[in-house]
């Protein structure tokens, strides 16, 4: 039973909280061919970074 998450675990959960972010993360991991937690964490961070960049790009 999981009782607590590390700060990195909390960040990962926050990154994939929305279904669209989680689905995009899974799609990329499938294409890469790896589903390790480290890879999923890195992909989810990049998915969020890209979403932020796209939103900022649309504002300027």
Tens-binned pLDDT, residue by residue, of the chain (60 aa): 878 999 999 999 999 999 999 999 999 999 999 999 999 999 999 999 999 999 998 766
CA distance 52 to 47: 9
**Residue 33: DSSP 8-state:** T
> Are 25 and 44 spatial neighbours (Cβ–Cβ below 8 Å)?
yes
Residue 16 DSSP SS3: coil
């Amino acid at each position: 039973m999981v009782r607590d998450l590390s700060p990195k675990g909390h960040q990962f959960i926050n990154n994939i909280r929305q279904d669209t972010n989680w689905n995009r993360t899974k799609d990329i991991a499938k294409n890469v061919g790896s589903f390790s937690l480290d890879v999923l964490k890195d992909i989810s961070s990049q998915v969020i970074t890209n979403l932020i960049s796209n939103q900022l790009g649309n504002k300027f």
